[in-house]
Amino acid sequence: MKRLRLDQVWLLVSPGNPLKPKHGMASPQARLASARSIADGRRIIATAIEGHLHTRYTVDTLRTLRIRFPHVRFVWLMGADNLVQLPAWNEWLEIARHTVFAVLPRPTYNHRALAGQAAQRLRPARHPERQGPALAGFRAPAWVFLSAMQNSESATAIRARTHR
């Protein structure tokens, strides 16, 4: 948030990911509660807005958010694991054409992400990390890969530890 000079970060808790099996996935209520536990309600907002919008795909969610909030400059934050998977997403090039984004490193995914199809296809739109603070003002397509400390623990392992 600070490095990108964002006013807020919204933790969008999806009702479900079409690319992930439902088995083993925490319920939307449990995932929202987990997101709320790290949100402050002012600058970091945990929201289930995607369920309220009745959108299934990220491209539709982002399109609807831009319509509902026409004066907001959204920056989509995703992990390197999602950059690897991005070409499997519904209308992924449409997402990139209309949304600036920052990619956060994830252990074991970074090299694959930067060498993968999405990064290669979007290479002309990649900006150096030092331009991250200006990203919200860039016209899409635009993205940066941020360096950061990484936690190799999976979300599943974190949830298991939390429930113990």
CATH of the domain at 133: 3.40.50.620
SS3 track for 83-129: HHHHHHCCCHHHHHHHCEEEEECCCCCHHHHHHCHHHHHCHHHECCH
pTM for the complete prediction? 0.88
Asked if residue 3 belongs to a domain, the reply is no
Give the dihedral of Cα atoms 82, 18, 11, 47; nearest 10 deg. 170
**pLDDT digits 0-9 by tens, 57-75:** 999 999 999 999 999 999 9
Asked if residue 2 belongs to a domain, the reply is no
**pLDDT digits 0-9 by tens, 17-44:** 666 666 667 888 888 999 999 999 999 9
Residue 21: its pLDDT value, please?
A: 63
| Residue 158: its H or E element | helix 155-163
Distance CA 159, CA 164 (A): 9
Asked if residue 118 belongs to a domain, the reply is yes
**pLDDT digits 0-9 by tens, 103-113:** 999 999 999 99
Domain encompassing residue 153:
9-163
Higher pLDDT, 159 or 134: 134
Domain count, the chain: 1
* Long-range contacts of residues 52-58, Cβ cutoff 8 Å, at least 24 apart: 56/18, 57/18, 57/89, 57/90, 57/91, 58/89, 58/90, 58/95
Reading the block at residue 136, the tokens are: 């919200």
Residue 28: its pLDDT value, please?
A: 83
Residue 151: its pLDDT value, please?
A: 78
Asked if residue 147 belongs to a domain, the reply is yes
Asked if residue 46 belongs to a domain, the reply is yes
**pLDDT digits 0-9 by tens, 116-156:** 999 999 999 999 999 999 999 999 999 999 999 887 777 66
Asked if residue 1 belongs to a domain, the reply is no
Asked if residue 4 belongs to a domain, the reply is no
